């Protein structure tokens, strides 16, 4: 047998000693119990096969070297100039993008049209709002990354079909282009969500949409940025996508928190009952915006705004059910400034048994506003998707 050199032997022993030291110092022996319990588990079938990685995943959650190794990985992928990491695409200016599959839009179309007919029959107004993703041109994405993506094409197809069926539709991509907005500035680089100023802008567009399509009379001047106090945090957090590729790959993210300069007066609800009084500040969770927080483990700063069912005591009219997604963490609070009463529901969080139509009739909403990020279109094609139920308006 070939005898390894002294250096190699030293390295070999050092690696083993480090593994054992890590095992002892980080109390990995506490895993023995869970290991033996797992071995005793029964009934492993293919649909549960993912659970075979459960031990690994749970250990990784508390693995102390995790963040350092992710940073090492970020350095390496940056050094190699890798633009595709874990199914995500990174632009030269460190924006993380995602590709989306093609869909027929049939399910979304049929559900929306049927839902609209139901609402119309019950004299309830309706508006469908299409919220953009981080790029507007699928062809440019293809040219840049050589990967097919269909999100904008899917949205185009669905909106065209809805418009043909006379369903009121507001496409924020069109508004964005009309306003001369730069899509790159509206989204976080390291997170799939849009930022707070974009949320304020979108709220204004939705308010105008409510005025145009639903007969509202909201004073949209309240959404002018000059009416808002801006608190800026620089290089302070990492979005959900950025946490996967590492801070060393894409850098940290800035954050702006906006709050109205004008006085506000809300009654906040727990479920359907008023629970407490407050101002716009009740929507804010400043504790999330702590630059001292662990950038990998702390809550995403996108959730520094809450969605809370509320009554705006300064607005006279409108009772809106807002069917939305996580993008609307930063639109619902602003939109609520122009409407008397606003409740929001994310359908993916509701069980199959949630009777949406009965709920709408019971609560007496005069308007239903559906605002979905366009990657929700097609989610129903995949039964395992967390967004599978988003277009099930039943």
Which residues contribute to the site for another protein (CB under 8 A)? Answer: 1-13, 15-16, 19-20, 22-23, 28-29, 31-32, 35-36, 38-47, 49, 52-53, 55-56, 59-60, 63, 65-66, 69-70, 72-73, 76, 80, 82-86, 142-143, 145-148, 244-246
Cβ atoms of 262 and 290 within 8 Å: the answer is no
- How many angstroms separate the first and last alpha carbons of the chain? 71
CA torsion sign for 207, 212, 216, 221 is: positive
- Closer CB to another protein, 37 or 317, in the complex: 37
Minimum distance of another protein from residue 348's CB (angstroms): 23
- Closer CB to another protein, 44 or 291, in the complex: 44
* Secondary-structure breakdown of the chain: helix, strand, coil percentages, each rounded to the nearest 5: 45, 20, 35
For 359-364, the CB contacts below 8 A with 24+ separation are: 360/119, 360/122, 360/124, 360/321, 361/122, 363/272, 363/319, 363/321, 364/319
- Closer CB to another protein, 143 or 353, in the complex: 143
- Closer CB to another protein, 42 or 261, in the complex: 42
Minimum distance of another protein from residue 251's CB (angstroms): 17
Minimum distance of another protein from residue 2's CB (angstroms): 7
- Closer CB to another protein, 8 or 163, in the complex: 8
Q: How far apart are CA 210 and CA 320, in angstroms?
A: 10
Minimum distance of another protein from residue 46's CB (angstroms): 4
Minimum distance of another protein from residue 246's CB (angstroms): 7
Minimum distance of another protein from residue 140's CB (angstroms): 13
Helix ranges (DSSP H) in the chain = 6-25, 31-39, 54-61, 66-79, 106-121, 138-145, 151-164, 172-178, 183-186, 196-214, 240-245, 247-250, 332-335, 356-363
Closest alpha carbon to 348 in 390, 297, 311, 385: 390
Minimum distance of another protein from residue 55's CB (angstroms): 5
- Closer CB to another protein, 16 or 160, in the complex: 16
- Closer CB to another protein, 87 or 271, in the complex: 87
């Amino acid at each position: 047998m070939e005898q390894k050199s002294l250096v190699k032997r030293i390295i070999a022993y050092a690696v083993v000693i480090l593994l054992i030291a890590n095992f002892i110092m980080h109390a990995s022996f506490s895993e023995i119990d869970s290991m033996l319990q797992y071995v005793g588990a029964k009934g492993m079938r293919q649909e549960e096969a993912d659970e075979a990685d459960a031990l690994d995943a749970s250990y990784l959650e508390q693995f102390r070297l995790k963040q350092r190794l992710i940073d090492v990985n970020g350095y390496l992928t940056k050094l190699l100039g890798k633009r595709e990491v874990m199914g995500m695409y990174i632009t030269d200016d460190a924006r993380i993008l995602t590709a989306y599959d093609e869909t027929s839009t049939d399910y979304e179309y049929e559900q929306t049209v049927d839902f609209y007919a139901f609402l119309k029959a019950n004299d309830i107004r309706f508006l469908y709002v299409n919220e953009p993703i981080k790029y507007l041109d699928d062809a440019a994405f293809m040219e840049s990354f050589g990967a097919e993506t269909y999100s904008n094409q899917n949205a185009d197809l669905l909106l065209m079909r809805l418009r043909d069926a006379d369903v009121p539709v507001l496409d924020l991509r069109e508004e964005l282009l009309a306003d001369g907005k730069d899509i790159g500035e509206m989204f976080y680089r390291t997170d799939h969500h849009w930022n707070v100023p974009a949320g304020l802008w979108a709220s204004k567009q939705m308010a105008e949409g409510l005025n145009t399509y639903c007969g509202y009379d909201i004073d949209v001047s309240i959404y002018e940025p000059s009416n808002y106090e801006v608190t800026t945090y620089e290089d302070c957090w990492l979005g959900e996508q950025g946490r996967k590729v590492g801070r060393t790959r894409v850098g940290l993210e800035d954050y702006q928190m906006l709050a109205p300069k004008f006085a506000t007066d809300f009654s906040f609800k727990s479920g359907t009952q008023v629970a407490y009084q407050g101002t716009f500040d009740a929507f804010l969770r400043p504790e999330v915006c702590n630059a001292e927080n662990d950038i990998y483990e702390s809550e995403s700063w996108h959730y520094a705004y809450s969605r809370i069912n509320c009554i705006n005591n300064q607005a006279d009219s409108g009772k809106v059910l807002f069917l939305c997604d996580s993008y609307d963490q930063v639109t619902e609070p602003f939109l609520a400034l122009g409407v008397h009463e606003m409740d929001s529901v994310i359908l993916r969080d509701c069980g199959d048994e949630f009777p949406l139509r009965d709920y709408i009739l019971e609560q007496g909403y005069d308007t239903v506003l559906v605002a979905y990020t366009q990657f929700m279109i097609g989610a129903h094609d995949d039964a395992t998707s967390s967004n599978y139920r988003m277009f099930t308006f039943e």
